[in-house]
Structure 1
């Protein structure tokens, strides 16, 4: 099995589409079958998985999806690219516990993981509806990944 699509709840499909296109994401589909149903599918560069948003595709409240992760090779370069594209993104951080990041901003320590350990450095941003994303630096995958 492979994860193919994650549904992201948004209030305004056009605004969301503009935001994700502004990140350089590919538009795979934009299909409307009536006033109450529209599906927009976008894919991040290099990703085998996509997101879908639109009208009538979820009953979840706009902005209620949190913890989506985009894997990057270089956290500082990826953050700089996001800033260049006009996205309000947090400073790079690592977690005080060193395993994964805590929910919210608790236990965030400024700067990348001190050893630049793979899986250990993050930056966060929200889409216009408040769906919460993380950039996560992975340079060496765990065995079997």
Structure 2
């Protein structure tokens, strides 16, 4: 049986600010359903993604900005970074991990620039939404076998 990730809930403090931020990035607004003063759900989808994010009022008990390590896969991390910066996001410089495998939590092992061999899965850039939810751009040019 196929099991597909459909939605990730991200906690935000200001629904309209979050909606404006993601729309400015070029994300598609799939839904905005208010149901009184204590419940509202907004669903947004990154370009080309089969998975969406949901945020709103009464949607999550998590602290705003507590979602970290959310990955967006791109074919060219430098071009994706440039486009997001052009759209108003504060995206850090492209980096790779000192160990050469996958980035670690935090910034201690980040080496400036893309992976020297431009290996798939090894180059990154990061940004946060206005609440501090943390996103990682990960460059994947060739999938591992079975993917």
> Under a length normalisation based on structure 2, what TM-score does the superposition of the two structures give?
0.98
The separation in 1 between residues aligned to 2:62 and 2:88, in whole angstroms, is: 27
Q: Give the unaligned 5+ runs of structure 2.
A: none
- What SS does structure 2 have at the residue aligned with 1:6? strand
CA RMSD of aligned residues (A): 0.4
5+ residue gaps, structure 1 = none
Task: State the Cα distance separating 1:106 from its structure 2 match.
Answer: 1.2
State the match for 2:61 in structure 1: 59
- Report Cα offsets for 1:8-44 as digits up to 9, x if no partner: 0000000000000000000000001110000000000
Distance, in Å, in 1 between the alignment partners of 2:123 and 2:107 is 14
Question: What is aligned with 2:31?
Answer: 29
Higher strand residue share: 1
Residue 86 of structure 1 and its aligned partner are, at CA, apart by 1.3
Tell me how far 1:47 sits from its aligned partner: 0.2
Q: 1:45 maps to which residue?
A: 47
Determine the structure 2 residue equivalent to 1:84.
86
1:3 paired with 2:5, answer yes
Scaled by the length of structure 1, what TM-score is found?
Answer: 0.99
Please point out which of 99, 103, 106 is paired with 2:105: 103
Count of aligned positions: 145
* SS of residue in 1 equivalent to 2:84: helix
